[in-house]
């Protein structure tokens, strides 16, 4: 998947919960920590990114709401939901 498009979708979903600046900063920071670089992001890299984002988001909105937001991101990216 094209990295820029994927990150834009993630940030768009996170904005109502974290604000634009925090959504963008946290997404980019986690990409750097996970070594996600270049123009393309793999399904495995996206899964790792969503795991990291979900963990942090749960601090702000709680575990249940965080799970809902992560599912919203998966839907926006066209990924399947975890079992």
HEC per residue, the chain? CEHHHHHHHHHHHHHHHHCHHHHHHHHHHHHHHHCCCCCECCHHHHHHHHHHHHHHHHHHHCHHHHHHHHHHHHHHHCCCCCC
Return the domain boundaries, the chain: 3-77
pLDDT at site 83: 60
pTM of the model: 0.89
Among candidate residues 56, 55, 50, 49, the one with its CA nearest the CA of residue 72: 50
pLDDT at site 76: 94
Q: Per the structure block, which two tokens stand in for 82?
A: 């975890």
Distance of alpha carbon 63 from alpha carbon 9, whole angstroms: 21
How confident is the model over 23-82, as pLDDT tens digits?
A: 999 999 999 999 998 999 998 999 999 999 999 899 889 999 999 999 999 999 988 777
């Amino acid at each position: 998947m094209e990295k820029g498009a994927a990150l834009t979708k993630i940030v768009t979903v996170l904005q109502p919960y974290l604000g634009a600046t925090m959504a963008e900063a946290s997404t980019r920071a986690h990409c750097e920590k996970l070594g996600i670089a270049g123009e393309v992001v793999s399904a495995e890299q996206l899964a790792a990114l969503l795991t990291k984002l979900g963990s942090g988001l749960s601090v702000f909105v709680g575990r249940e709401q965080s799970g809902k937001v992560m599912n919203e991101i998966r839907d926006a990216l066209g990924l399947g939901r975890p079992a």
